[in-house]
Homo-oligomer: A and B are copies of this chain.
Amino acid sequence: MKVVITGGAGFIGLRLGAELLQRGSLTAPNGAQEAIDSLLLFDVNAPAVRPDWADERVVFQTGDISDAATVSALIDRDDISVFHLASVVSGGGERDFDLAMRVNLHGGLNVFEACRARAGLPRVVFASSIAVFGGASMPGVVGDTVKQTPQTTYGITKSICELLVNDYSRKGFFDGRSARLPTVIVRPGKPNQAASSFVSGLFREPLNGEVCSIPVAPETPMPLLGYRSIVGGFIALHEAEGAALGDDRAVSLPSFTVTVAEMIEALKRVAGERPLGEIVFERDPFIEEICAGWPKDAAHDRATALGLPKDASLDAIVEDYIEDYL
């Protein structure tokens, strides 16, 4: 079978690709575990260097997800699964509404229509976000049945795509699942346009001996998950029985809710004798306002019942990062 990952050259897309190759198979549209003979990683840019795990099964392709013909050409077999990760991120979407609509809404529609056009019933895993929650009526803990009143264009487009995944699945156009991601840590490399980008920076920059600037208050709580569990969650959600998902195919992934101050404590605990770059607080109203609108805590009983993984602890996530990247 073939697997397509949109946003495949991003941090999570690449890790998901590597994990899928190592695993070797997925549940195909015919219901059987089938070997992955083709892995297509689609993104707006190719990775700077071809990863060493990318064997002859792997193709990197660049293009514009808002072009229907481009997307249709990617999804060209009936024995296929799609992980749809391509997205303008939260801060980027607030800065450029039209780009967020083009990539997140119309790009999503292109992916969903291309999957619908296949003869099989492809499994489609859509990367949503807990940024679908927000607004004055949001409770302290958001569960899967809480109303979505997002306060960013990013969240709006994710919420819309969750609705579309539900309806395309109900209509039998494909077998869709949406995974709502909390803030993912620890992203290596450079900061990105996500309003939550500083959370990875909080661990990454000090461990690299660099100064890190935090744009929010130390008591700000954020639901987090490590990248290993994010990737594991995508695959477990792909493999889950459709019937177990019922008529609402979206689940919030497990997460830890910790404050910025608690993140710094964990960093210091795990770093031990390592020298750390300085952490300074320089509040940024643009970032603060976006983060203040997000949920403080996300329930994940449904995800847990489906067998989606959760890291052992915040400390374990930081240890994984040190093992994988330092």
Q: How far is the CB of A320 from chain B (nearest CB, A)?
A: 34
Roughly how many angstroms separate A247 CA and B153 CA in the complex, as a whole number?
Answer: 13
Tell me the dominant secondary structure on chain A's binding face. Answer: loop
Tell me if B166 and A149 are in contact (CB < 8 A): yes
Q: A148-B147, A248-B137 are in contact. Are A171 and B153 (CB under 8 A)?
A: yes
The verdict on A87 contacting chain B, using a C-beta distance below 8 Å, is: no
The verdict on A10 contacting chain B, using a C-beta distance below 8 Å, is: no
- CB within 8 Å of B: which residues of A? 97, 135-137, 145-151, 153, 156, 159-160, 163-164, 166-167, 170-171, 246-248
Tell me if B136 and A150 are in contact (CB < 8 A): no
Assembly stoichiometry (copies): 2
Q: A156-B166, A163-B160, A164-B156 are in contact. Are A135 and B171 (CB under 8 A)?
A: no
18 A-B pairs whose Cβ atoms sit less than 8 Å apart in the complex: A97-B171, A135-B246, A135-B247, A135-B248, A136-B247, A136-B248, A137-B145, A137-B248, A145-B147, A149-B166, A149-B247, A149-B248, A151-B170, A153-B167, A156-B164, A156-B166, A156-B167, A160-B164
Q: What residues of B have a CB within 8 angstroms of the CB of A147 in the complex? A: 145-148
Roughly how many angstroms separate A216 CA and B170 CA in the complex, as a whole number?
Answer: 23
Roughly how many angstroms separate A305 CA and B167 CA in the complex, as a whole number?
Answer: 33
Q: What residues of B have a CB within 8 angstroms of the CB of A137 in the complex? A: 145, 248
Roughly how many angstroms separate A318 CA and B7 CA in the complex, as a whole number?
Answer: 57
Roughly how many angstroms separate A153 CA and B264 CA in the complex, as a whole number?
Answer: 47
Roughly how many angstroms separate A153 CA and B147 CA in the complex, as a whole number?
Answer: 19
Q: Nearest 7 CB-CB pairs, A to B?
A: A156-B167, A147-B147, A137-B145, A135-B247, A160-B160, A149-B248, A145-B147
Roughly how many angstroms separate A246 CA and B138 CA in the complex, as a whole number?
Answer: 13
